[in-house]
Amino acid sequence: MKRPLFAAAACAAILLMGQTAVASECKVDVEDPFDLDEAAIAEIYNCISASMAEGYAAEGDAVGTAYRTWTVSSTRPAVAGAHNNRLLQTFANDIAAEQYLKFAEDGVVMPVGSVLAKESITISKKKKAAVVGPLFIMTKGEVGSSPETGDWIYAGLQPNGKPMKFKQSFCHDCHVSWEAQDMLAYPLEEVRRKN
Ligand code: HEC
């Protein structure tokens, strides 16, 4: 009776070891992220997705621990160019989801309390691998709370879950290009999810 149990335990241990190895090394054979096709992106996401969410949640950040339960806005991660050619995928909290997923282009006013969290994956030429990038976060405050940024607060988590430091203007000076969309740039059209 003991043998099968032992065998099962050993087998599980090997499986777990295999998973750890895969999670820390997601090899990629292209240098330019724009060369990744859909299948390659699916493979990368499959490999990195669990460890990515674990890292963002590691310090107990409210967004970092919750965003994966929110509404995903795209059918898969995609490379838009901005945010350093990383693979990007945005999640919208319950307050934001309905309006965000309309991807409306004019007169957009996101409800107070909206949060968008965008996970990112860097294709590292040096490592020839996909590695976790920052989690980029936008939170809509009360009307008048931050007039110089359209009442948005920009934030970010490092892959280890620790907060990033940057000036609000670093993010806003670019996001202001989408003022009619309440500063939101939206995912690439080809991957947008229908509401
Ligand atoms: C050079 C321009 C640029 C800069 C600088 C920039 N962003 Fe973005 N951001 C974009 C674009 C373009 C998108 C949409 C691309 C995509 O998600 O596929 C985007 C999307 C986002 C989203 C998803 C919501 C949306 O707009 O649809 C968040 C959250 C975000 N950025 C946060 C940040 C934060 C935080 C910073 C500063 C650390 C920052 N961004 C700096 C261009 C920029």
DSSP structural state of residue 194: P
Q: Which residues pair with 136 in a beta bridge?
A: 118, 156
Higher pLDDT, 127 or 8: 127
The pLDDT tens digits of the residues spanning 117-175 come to 999 999 999 999 999 999 999 999 999 999 999 999 999 999 999 999 999 999 999 99
Mean pLDDT of the chain: 90
Q: Give the closest residue to 180 by CA, choosing from 100, 102, 107.
A: 107
Residue nearest to atom 3 of ligand 1 (CA): 174
pTM above 0.75, yes or no: yes
According to the model, what pLDDT value does residue 177 have? 98
**What is the arithmetic mean of pLDDT over 106-119?**
98
Q: Give the closest residue to 59 by CA, choosing from 170, 141, 164, 165.
A: 164
Lowest mean pLDDT among 5-9, 56-60, 87-91: 5-9
Closest ligand 1 atom number to CA of residue 178: 26
- Domain 26-190 matching CATH 2.30.30: the answer reads no
Residue nearest to atom 31 of ligand 1 (CA): 136
Q: Which residues line ligand 1 (CB under 6 A)?
A: 78, 80, 82-83, 88, 90, 116, 118, 136-138, 154, 156, 166, 170-171, 174-175, 184-188
Q: Ligand 1 mean position to 135 CA, how many Å? A: 11
What is the Cα–Cα distance from 140 to 185, expressed in whole angstroms? Answer: 15
According to the model, what pLDDT value does residue 194 have? 82
**What is the arithmetic mean of pLDDT over 77-101?**
97
Neighbouring C-beta atoms of residue 130, cutoff 10 Å: 26
DSSP structural state of residue 119: E
Q: How far is CA 55 from the centre of its chain?
A: 12
Q: Ligand 1 mean position to 30 CA, how many Å? A: 24
Q: Give the closest residue to 133 by CA, choosing from 97, 159, 171.
A: 159
According to the model, what pLDDT value does residue 170 have? 98
Q: Ligand 1 mean position to 11 CA, how many Å? A: 43
What is the Cα–Cα distance from 119 to 49, expressed in whole angstroms? Answer: 10
CA distances from 77 to 1, 21, 119, 152 (A): 47, 23, 9, 24
Q: Give the closest residue to 87 by CA, choosing from 139, 155, 35.
A: 35
Q: Ligand 1 mean position to 140 CA, how many Å? A: 14
pLDDT band of 25, cuts 50, 70, 90:
confident
What is the Cα–Cα distance from 191 to 30, expressed in whole angstroms? Answer: 21
Residue nearest to atom 10 of ligand 1 (CA): 82
DSSP structural state of residue 161: S
According to the model, what pLDDT value does residue 57 have? 98
